[in-house]
Amino acid sequence: MVRFKNYVKAGSLSEAYELNQKKSSIVGGGMMWLKLQNRVKMTLIDLSGLGLDTIEETDEEFRIGCMCTLRMLETHEGLNTYFQGVFKECTRAIVGVQFRNGATVGGSVFGRFGFSDIMTCLMALDTYVELYQGGVVSLKEFNHMKYDRDILVRIIIKKDGRRAAYAAQRRSGTDFPLIACCVAKKEGTWYVSAGARPSRAEVVEVAGTGVNGSVDCGTVADCFHFGSNTRGSAEYRRHLTEVYAGRLMKQLGGEV
């Protein structure tokens, strides 16, 4: 179990940022995966008093505070109405309701975990992250940035008209995904993200052809690099990505 010598409930983002510049400090989100580590850190920084646990909806975007829980994503009416229930679908198999009531969106995104259903879903949408020092950057760019000591403040999802669908393959109901796939469509363009490959999620943008925007899913699957581990082989993961991408495209009204 991870242990800390000091606990600080930050009174401002500037205070949290300054404290986090020491390598012996760490920002705590929901403390779901972090607490399973076996190490000692000097200071735990708590952001729960900064009002970053709300989801704001405007005409242009959704603004999701870093301390929002996965359960809030799962049950938020505005998000699920606009994106056809994709957040309910991508969160419902993450351990259980009790876990999702503790795990935070900020922790899931900042961690950029290879097994993350959340990152796989967000990568297919027009998503940005707001960093305290780094400002607003696209999630795609953030996904490739090195880990640093900045603080993720919120996630921003633009309302750009995308329709989305999500699916994942698991060996058991609440296990980590063997492969995760999210597909979004905007006009004639498809956005396909694949996660748990077993590396972190990536997204490809594909232009559909014909009246219904048909796509060769085999070609889409070939855009990703797959690896093997105890859950499955690279070949199996590639096959599942091709299958799920096709199913989700059909669900969104496309042809494959």
Q: For 232-254, how does the pLDDT look when each residue is reduced to its tens digit (9 = 90+)?
A: 999 999 999 999 999 999 999 87
Task: Give the CATH number for residue 125.
Answer: 3.30.465.10
CA 219 to chain centre: 24
Q: Which of 158, 184, 210 is the last residue of a domain?
A: 158
Is 225 a residue whose pLDDT tops 80?
yes
Q: Are residues 137 and 186 in the same domain?
A: no
The residue segments making up the domain with residue 119 are 55-158
- CATH number, domain containing residue 28: 3.30.43
150, 72: one domain: yes
Q: Among the three residues 119, 142, 158, which one is the final residue of a domain in this structure?
A: 158
- CA torsion 238-95-120-235 (nearest 10°) is -10
The answer to whether residues 146 and 65 belong to one domain is yes
Average pLDDT across the chain, whole number: 91
133-150: per-residue pLDDT in tens?
Answer: 999 999 999 999 999 999
**80 & 150 share domain:** yes
Q: By C-alpha distance, which of 132, 80, 95, 126 is closest to 110?
A: 132
Q: How far is CA 6 from the centre of its chain?
A: 30
* Residue 101 β-bridge partners: none
Name the residue among 239, 212, 211 with its Cα closest to residue 224.
239
Residues 13, 71, single domain; the answer is no
- As a whole number of angstroms, the distance between CA 250 and CA 256 comes to 7
30 and 67 both lie in a single domain: no
- For the chain, how many structural domains are there in total? 3
Q: 241 and 168: one domain? A: yes
22 and 66 inside one domain: no
Band of pLDDT at residue 80, cut at 50, 70 and 90: very high
